[in-house]
Structure 1
């Protein structure tokens, strides 16, 4: 939908992680998308996994929603898609009666920006619709881990605490197990049918909510298909007669043809993320995804030939001078939008949400502008093999001390916020109050200034519907995004620890801290491939091999969730 705020940043930051996980819910919200444990104590030798062999009985039954029918159903792990104009008169009702009993629920959650006052029309309308008095304790998302640690170490824990996966380091997983309630008695198996919108959340997302052998979290689901798309200027490609490359060799050849430094045009930005995909490198977005069982042995992504080959290909792009100078300086994110629009470079890999946000930015001032997404291809021109991402990354937890009435009120909130696109509850959750927070013209809702200031970073974090993409202002983009996911999903494979919530023992926490810097030094010609080989050897001797053994025991004890 038409943006009324700055576009999402383009680096792999926490905000863009949330943009990708919430592409199903927040990317259609008319403004900037929202901002990617278990078992034993992590006292230094602990850690654990959510994939115990008894986990299946803890999961809520899956019952597909029937209130709204998407224009494009999910396929191969994709989001569902909506391409029609929005008609407020035909919105469905997914929660026919208030489930809340009028109680008060305190919620602590990360917030990026200036949080609104508690007494505002958005919060008031949501609370009235649900029948629960939700009181928000918003905390700065950039320093949330510090606040989180302090609160969980105290005896004064709010009724609900939202915890993104990236804040689950250190002792947080142990605190989750000790401080938060088992929701199994309310949601496991057929019990979830009391909350139909929660029952429609995919099972993979719920599996990520198991901590310490109990179902403790409420998820924000996301598509497991990679969210990193090689985006390109299709209008310039069409004008110049450039063909989308289908191999690593073709890409480099085209990049040389495009680049004319004197004319201030380069082919691309840093293509490392696309290189991972082309060469089928295991995901680096979450540590457990970087391991996979190969011929009976667990192998880490950094130990593979594919990893080195991807670095070497990316290095060749820099060496050939086809990469924009900003990327050489590490300025891959802030200036990407304007310089991409100016045609200074024609290709860059980034979050799928930018396909729409960049389109909307340029729609009025640059009508010929057309950003599109390349399919990922195998480096040799064959079919790719892309690795799945995790199906949920943000979770809400209920205080273990909460009474049953408070738990029921929290679930009433979650059942409302997990309502699907095309319902009154979805519009209220993601847009607020018509006329106050948004207007609708020609079937396209657009947030007002007040909407952008108040209807953000809140109720969607309690729980969200299955991944959804809907852009009534640019339905062709919505259709293309979902179809891209469907095509890439057909080539997507799940690694051994897909879908599991895993906490590594704290002694291994910093084992891989220097690898990203070394990757960038190699691709920019400051270091050699041999330096990476040496770093991998040191990683193995300093704990990598012992960490492998630890993961192997997890696999032996719990099995794999991948299928």
Structure 2
């Protein structure tokens, strides 16, 4: 999983990879933890939404709002300087080439002038971040501000978080958050990942409830006489129609995880009709998705790179039309449009409408909407922590504010320019200097603001409006659950075995053995933990 320059999640799991949770052999025993809704309610901040620019396309039942015109009359959401001068130390991940440093970066200088102090960033490349974070936390040597992507949380983090990072409960829980109104604009569900041991330790950077879906080159598919399918039979026939290896064009990239959804994914953990807690690996949806996806491989519809298990250049292959249907993170949609539209105005990538295998009502098991958590060092004074919270409040300003524009587009006329319709875009200097550093400290609720591509805004708004009707919250949603430490790593063995079945390296009949092997490897013990966690929460 990576984050692109604007902070949207993009998943790049190995082809055929799964999202199974916990299994493993014997290990030191740890109890794990789980907090139910009542316990969370005592520490979560109140949700007080604000709006500075009315969207052209309002959200539907909570879905994303869209702007066909970028707001022109921006307002100051924060009237005063947020820092009291001096320096703030911060560590953030970088999923792109590092920008110029202090003294050489006019974007940083502009933001620092506005906030009234200097943020001194230590940026660590994404592939190295987990190791760096783990070592610093273990040594209790962290900067004032530490940004922690949720996929980099160190083992047994909850056991020692309070020894390294500050408890924010008494500053932010309930209506106390109203002192920071832009943080209060963050929905309560995004704060769940900031709670450990019944106390609030961080500020969230929002992630996607719908992190990924099947994308397709609609422009090329329709040119070839195809259209979006409504069931798996139509999906197979569509692949057959558009697949042409002789023309260096394959129907598919990686679609396995979405096929699990198509066959009725109940979530990583669910209860069956008898009330038994089951893992995704044990479900009919998983088995049928493996069998159907295997048929797609056997038919020759899958690009050779995916068959070989390689993700090298996968975005380029998809955007270039060498594969026409592929599973991608929601942020990839806009990123691809911004890359391709300037040179190819007819480029038409879209998210495929959700569908069920039998043409019935589709379902999408949504994810906890938190991508990262910002934490503050424990030894800081209360006044210093309040100062840093004001900084997080500043960067959480939504569209329609001068703060949002500055953090995302720098100084207008220097780092960015507006097009004839008023939509801003980074220029050469902006692309060099403006990356998500400040912006990783928090995030306003997402909106669709690529107004230079109104067709994209309309299509994405419509997709989300439809998807919100089909969202399914798993039994674990809304609970703060930390698995026992011996189960925190994904079961690589079962990912690899699934990939082998999909690619024909193992017989398809082995899919029926995966669940039993998983149970023997420790899955039954983890089931007991989840059964208790859900039962304690009344689920």
**TM-score (normalizing by structure 1):** 0.87
Q: Distance in 2 between matches of 1:554 and 1:114?
A: 42
Task: Determine which of 396, 419, 444 is the counterpart of 2:423.
Answer: 444
Q: Distance in 2 between matches of 1:439 and 1:427?
A: 11
Residues 64-73 or 540-549, more deviating: 64-73
Give the conservation status (yes or no) of the 8 Å contact 2:7–2:436.
no
Task: Determine which of 215, 218, 230 is the counterpart of 2:214.
Answer: 230
Task: Determine which of 522, 526, 529 is the counterpart of 2:505.
Answer: 526
Q: Distance in 2 between matches of 1:175 and 1:128?
A: 36
Question: Which runs of at least 4 in structure 1 moved beyond 4 Å after TM superposition?
Answer: 16-19
Please tell me whether residue 179 in structure 1 is matched to residue 164 in structure 2. yes
Residue in 1 that maps onto 2:244: 260
Residue in 2 that maps onto 1:67: 52
Flag the 1:103–1:336 CA change in 2: closer, same or farther, 3 A.
closer
Q: Distance in 2 between matches of 1:46 and 1:386?
A: 30
Q: Distance in 2 between matches of 1:422 and 1:43?
A: 51
Residue in 1 that maps onto 2:2: 14
Please tell me whether residue 272 in structure 1 is matched to residue 260 in structure 2. no
Please tell me whether residue 419 in structure 1 is matched to residue 403 in structure 2. no
SS of 2:354's partner is coil
Please tell me whether residue 325 in structure 1 is matched to residue 308 in structure 2. no
Residue in 1 that maps onto 2:14: none
Q: CA deviation at 1:460?
A: 1.2
Flag the 1:64–1:252 CA change in 2: closer, same or farther, 3 A.
same
SS of 1:242's partner is coil
Residue in 2 that maps onto 1:242: 226
Q: Residues 507-522 of structure 1 correspond to what in structure 2 (within 5 A)?
A: 507-510=486-489, 512-522=491-501
SS of 2:343's partner is coil
Please tell me whether residue 96 in structure 1 is matched to residue 75 in structure 2. no
Q: Distance in 2 between matches of 1:245 and 1:157?
A: 50
Q: Distance in 2 between matches of 1:183 and 1:525?
A: 52
Residue in 1 that maps onto 2:525: 546
Residue in 2 that maps onto 1:108: 91
Q: Distance in 2 between matches of 1:251 and 1:52?
A: 40
Please tell me whether residue 128 in structure 1 is matched to residue 113 in structure 2. yes
Q: Residues 368-517 of structure 1 correspond to what in structure 2 (within 5 A)?
A: 368-442=346-420, 443-510=422-489, 512-517=491-496
Give the conservation status (yes or no) of the 8 Å contact 1:469–1:482.
yes
Q: Distance in 1 between matches of 2:257 and 2:311?
A: 12
Q: CA deviation at 1:316?
A: 0.6
Deviation digits for residues 36-60 of structure 1 (CA, Å, limit 9, x no counterpart): 9xxxxx9731321343632202111
Q: CA deviation at 1:86?
A: 4.6
Task: Determine which of 194, 199, 202 is the counterpart of 2:187.
Answer: 202
Q: Distance in 1 between matches of 2:291 and 2:278?
A: 20
SS of 1:468's partner is coil
Residue in 2 that maps onto 1:287: none
Give the conservation status (yes or no) of the 8 Å contact 1:50–1:208.
no
Give the conservation status (yes or no) of the 8 Å contact 2:89–2:145.
yes
Please tell me whether residue 216 in structure 1 is matched to residue 212 in structure 2. no
SS of 1:135's partner is strand
Residue in 1 that maps onto 2:22: none
Q: CA deviation at 1:418?
A: 0.3
Q: Distance in 2 between matches of 1:450 and 1:500?
A: 44
Deviation digits for residues 358-403 of structure 1 (CA, Å, limit 9, x no counterpart): 2233324333332222101000011111101111120100112110
Residue in 2 that maps onto 1:150: 135
Flag the 1:458–1:73 CA change in 2: closer, same or farther, 3 A.
same
SS of 2:334's partner is helix
Q: CA deviation at 1:97?
A: 2.3
Residues 408-417 or 140-149, more deviating: 140-149
Deviation digits for residues 150-193 of structure 1 (CA, Å, limit 9, x no counterpart): 21122432111111111114133333232111212211111111
Give the conservation status (yes or no) of the 8 Å contact 2:204–2:370.
yes
Deviation digits for residues 459-486 of structure 1 (CA, Å, limit 9, x no counterpart): 1111110122210211220221122112
SS of 1:198's partner is coil
Flag the 1:266–1:320 CA change in 2: closer, same or farther, 3 A.
same
Q: CA deviation at 1:215?
A: 0.9
Q: CA deviation at 1:19?
A: 4.6
Q: Distance in 2 between matches of 1:282 and 1:132?
A: 48
Give the conservation status (yes or no) of the 8 Å contact 2:252–2:301.
yes
Give the conservation status (yes or no) of the 8 Å contact 2:37–2:479.
no
Q: Distance in 1 between matches of 2:304 and 2:39?
A: 53
SS of 1:208's partner is helix
**Structure 1 unaligned spans of 5+:** 1-12, 24-35, 37-41, 284-289
Q: How many residues align?
A: 521
Flag the 1:344–1:67 CA change in 2: closer, same or farther, 3 A.
closer
Q: Distance in 1 between matches of 2:62 and 2:276?
A: 27
**TM-score (normalizing by structure 2):** 0.91
Q: CA deviation at 1:411?
A: 0.9
Flag the 1:369–1:153 CA change in 2: closer, same or farther, 3 A.
closer
C-alpha RMSD of matched pairs (Å): 2.4
**Structure 2 unaligned spans of 5+:** 12-18, 20-26
